[in-house]
Amino acid sequence: MRIGFQFDGRSRLEAGIDGIAEVMDGDQPTVKMIAVQVKASESSAYAGETEAGFTYRVRASDFDYWRGSNLPVILVLYRLSDDTFFWKSLENLVGEAERTLQFNKPRDVLDAGAKDRLAALTVAKQGHGYYVPPLGSRASSPH
């Protein structure tokens, strides 16, 4: 899946963050990165799944681990049977109740339409910050 990021997988171990996604501006890396945790399933429905959404409960140990990251972290859920990807930012989760993530299927699908929201996660939250232009809205060059 190509959506404007370069993904580097970390290892085959079943521990730790699965990889790092770097925001790309065309074919140029930007040094703006997101830690990616992938959870895959064969074919089962997610808890409370409907056409509109579902919930996913995160283990306490995973939750605590991700909160310690110095990069923004996203959780990507992949279902092999229908080749669907959904994502959720784990950045602002603080309490026990927030371990149950609410997914909205149209909004949280991981596809090309998600790249600007993902890139926005890399904007500095303290200090002056910086602007990340929309990555999918570039006008064609007349060359």
Architecture of domain 5-120: 3-Layer(aba) Sandwich (3.40)
With the C-alpha atoms ordered 3, 49, 52, 107, is the resulting torsion angle positive or negative?
negative
Residue 18 and residue 10 in contact, taking contact as beta carbons nearer than 8 Å: yes
- Percent helix, strand, coil in the chain, to 5, is 15, 35, 45
pTM: 0.81
> Burial, 65: exposed, middle or buried (Cβ in 10 Å; 0-12, 13-18, 19+)?
middle
The 10s digit of each residue's pLDDT in 11-43 is 666 678 899 999 988 889 999 999 999 999 997
Q: Give tens-digit pLDDT for 45-86.
A: 999 999 999 999 998 888 888 888 889 999 999 999 999 999
Helix (H, G, I), strand (E, B) or coil at 91: coil
